[in-house]
């Protein structure tokens, strides 16, 4: 180890691979915990698009999403001595990112959430979140209809509170299962199901039958 690199390992919790921590991630995390900052870069490259996209979906503003994503990675690196491997690394990282955005929103640290559609137009060069309500490319009229439906769903999501917005994004855009969402939001799986149901009902109340196919 480079003698100029400060070790992080002093009070680090022992790592476990019970939840599927890969050998590669385990090795990188151990190097980081011993002070090798360069070992964190592959982890950033692996997850930066998903973390950024989730932050963007939550806050609606590209420049804020960049700040939130950077803050999440900084917090993750600083917290690596406390990461014990009981959850997957990306689940732990997403928990940090979601908490960064929701804490800022509750505290009014950033601007009001703006339209998700506006955010997309401002940020056309950025990666697009997985599992959006996509067109299947069958024909122009179908694509136009899909875009209209997508726009209405996104506009309705803008009107949900932050917690409802977050749980729908994690489930229906990030395609996380209930266990992963529970780990990210630090709530019981039963609570995930009840909150997701209430969030979807709130969305349906705004859109009517349009979202039946999108959310089931």
Judged by DSSP in three states, 76 sits in helix
> Which DSSP category does 169 fall into?
I
Q: Which helix (H) or strand (E) holds 85?
A: none
CA distance 111 to 94: 22
pLDDT in tens, the chain (216 residues): 343 445 554 456 666 555 567 888 889 998 998 889 999 999 999 999 999 999 998 888 899 999 999 999 999 999 998 888 778 899 999 999 999 998 887 776 544 443 434 444 444 344 444 444 344 455 666 667 667 777 777 778 878 888 898 999 999 888 999 999 999 998 999 999 999 999 999 988 888 745 454 454
Judged by DSSP in three states, 192 sits in helix
Q: Which helix (H) or strand (E) holds 18?
A: none
| Whole-structure pTM value | 0.70
CA distance 107 to 100: 11
In the chain, the domains with their CATH numbers are 16-115 (1.10.1740.10), 130-216 (1.10.10.10)
């Amino acid at each position: 180890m480079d003698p100029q690199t400060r070790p992080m390992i002093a009070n680090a919790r022992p790592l476990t691979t019970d939840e599927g921590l890969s050998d590669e991630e385990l090795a990188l995390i151990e190097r980081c915990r011993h002070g090798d900052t360069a070992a964190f870069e592959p982890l950033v490259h692996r997850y930066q698009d998903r973390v950024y996209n989730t932050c963007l979906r939550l806050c609606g503003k590209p420049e804020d999403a960049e700040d939130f994503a950077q803050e999440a990675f900084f917090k993750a690196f600083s917290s690596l001595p406390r990461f014990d491997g009981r959850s997957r690394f990306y689940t732990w990282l997403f928990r940090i990112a979601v908490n960064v955005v929701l804490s800022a929103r509750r505290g009014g640290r950033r601007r009001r959430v703006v339209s998700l559609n506006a955010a997309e137009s401002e940020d056309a060069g950025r990666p697009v979140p997985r599992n959006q309500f996509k067109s299947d490319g069958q024909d122009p009229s179908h694509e136009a209809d899909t875009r209209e439906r997508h726009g209405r769903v996104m506009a309705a999501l803008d009107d949900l509170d932050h917690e409802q917005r977050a749980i729908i994004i994690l489930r229906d855009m990030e395609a996380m299962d209930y266990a992963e969402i529970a780990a990210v939001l630090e709530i019981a799986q039963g609570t995930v199901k009840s909150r997701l149901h209430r969030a979807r009902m709130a969305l349906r109340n705004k859109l009517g039958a349009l979202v039946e196919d999108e959310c089931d």
